[in-house]
Amino acid sequence: MTAASKEGFVALGVYGAYPHTNGFLPGGERMVVGSAGLDALLIVDVAIGATPRPLLELAEIGSAPGAIPWFDVALEVPLLATVWAGRILTLDLSDAAPRPRAVRTAAEGAAFDGLVSISPDGSRIAAIEVRGDSRTLLSIDARSGSVESSTALHGEANHVQISPADPAWVGFAHEGPAASIPDRMWGVHPRLAPQGISLFDQRALSADHDDPLQAGHERWMFHRPGAIIVAYGEGPAPRGVWEVPVGAEARLISAGDRDWHCGISRDGTRVVVDTTGPAAAPGRGWADAGDRSSIVVIDTATGARTVIAETRFAPHPFHPHPAFTPDGAQIVHNHIDPQGRRGVALREAAQ
């Protein structure tokens, strides 16, 4: 698809999309990134790695102290959704000079979680409304801003994501310390699960049924309804990357003691993970992890693993957060090199 610089960077001083969202415009030639120093979104030509050009200056919209601008680009149309200063915004990326459009403003006394999801055709946005200790999943018309449906959620919930394979499904995470959450992965469907259903039985799948798998960082799949999800190295076996299809049994794709975030190719044949510490380091979980991480590509049929890069990490937004390019040929991830330079890197994916 493209060639990065010798250092691997496509652009410096920026970060990529959250791992369960999409930063690529249709076709994959351009990618949205966030500015590490400013509350701004930018766009970069992936093929040539040119200097990113400004896309959206969020400071002009309002103040959101401590917030990180995350975003999601529709898979089929050049429409971006984001949240800032209590507003859900869209940006038409087909415009030469796009201007943000406020789709919906949070009700008085409420706020939106910082991650939203836009449907592949750009017609619908899923968001989680936060009001005190309560959480409500909203399905919002991306044009009118009207709420098409709402579902009360139990406990702390985040990581909302519309299923790319079947947009009727909307996934979300039961958030909290992995050691104390036995039901991380949930889905809502207007007919099959209108009140939500837990999809990953961490207790039943654990080698020790009294000690559930410690799960986190799920990514809904492109080729079939359901998600891949990581069972962390801090918890019981079987640890590693799991496939959790809707309506079918979960299976361990590949065992791993340090898997962290995960992504999947659009055809479902490969998974990519970053790790807590170097992949080859002894131990598991966060033991002696330091600030090091490996980028590992996994064959979903065989579970075979190939380390394609080594990197470092820092607090959000500079976790590695690897993802496949739309054509599956390369991996994009946040990268910190030995000199401390930060940016978005591009690597050839293992075949």
Give the closest residue to 241 by CA, choosing from 232, 25, 249. 232
Is a pLDDT exceeding 80 seen at residue 302? yes
Residue 49: per-residue pLDDT: 64
Residue 7: per-residue pLDDT: 63
Q: Which residues of 305-333 are buried (b: 16+ CB within 10 A; e: fewer)?
A: beebbbbbbeeebbbbbbbbbbebebbbb
Residue 81: per-residue pLDDT: 99
Cα 186 to Cα 36, 189, 226, 245: the distances in Å are 31, 10, 10, 12
Order of strands across the sheet with 79-84?
71-73, 79-84, 87-92, 101-105
Give the closest residue to 44 by CA, choosing from 85, 102, 77, 5. 5
Token pair for 309: 């890069």
Strand partners, 43: 32, 53
Domain positions in the chain: 108-348
> Once rounded to an integer, what is the mean pLDDT over residues 144-161?
96
Give me the phi and psi of 178, to 5 degrees please. -60, -30
Residue 351: per-residue pLDDT: 60
Q: Sign (positive/negative) of CA torsion 48, 55, 331, 345?
A: positive
Residue 207: per-residue pLDDT: 98
pLDDT, tens digit, for every residue of 187-225? 999 999 999 999 999 999 999 999 999 999 999 999 999
The residue among 232 and 65 whose pLDDT is bigger is 232
Cα 317 to Cα 16, 43, 122, 289, 321: the distances in Å are 8, 17, 25, 18, 9
Give the closest residue to 296 by CA, choosing from 257, 252, 251. 257
Give the closest residue to 236 by CA, choosing from 257, 213, 255. 213
> In sequence order, which residues have a C-beta less than 8 Å from that of residue 199 and are 6 or more positions away?
171, 185, 186, 187, 226, 227, 244, 246
Long-range contacts of 339-343 (CB under 8 A, 24+ apart): 341/7, 341/9, 341/12, 342/12, 342/13, 342/15, 342/36, 342/314, 342/318, 343/9, 343/10, 343/11, 343/12, 343/13, 343/14
Residue 2: per-residue pLDDT: 47
User: What amino acid is encoded at 189 in this protein?
Assistant: H
pLDDT, tens digit, for every residue of 44-59? 998 776 789 999 999 9
Is a pLDDT exceeding 50 seen at residue 3? no
Q: Sign (positive/negative) of CA torsion 13, 19, 25, 30?
A: positive
- Write down the pTM of the prediction: 0.96
pLDDT band at residue 115, thresholds of 50, 70 and 90?
very high
> Once rounded to an integer, what is the mean pLDDT over residues 231-255?
98
Label residue 115 exposed, middle or buried (CB < 10 Å: 0-12, 13-18, 19+): buried
Residue 4: per-residue pLDDT: 47
pLDDT, tens digit, for every residue of 74-102? 999 999 999 999 999 999 999 989 999 99
Q: What is the CATH number of domain 108-348?
A: 2.130.10.10
- Say if residues 168 and 120 touch (Cβ distance below 8 Å): no
Residue 37: per-residue pLDDT: 83
Q: Sign (positive/negative) of CA torsion 207, 209, 210, 214?
A: positive
Give me the phi and psi of 133, to 5 degrees please. -90, 0
User: What amino acid is encoded at 218 in this protein?
Assistant: E
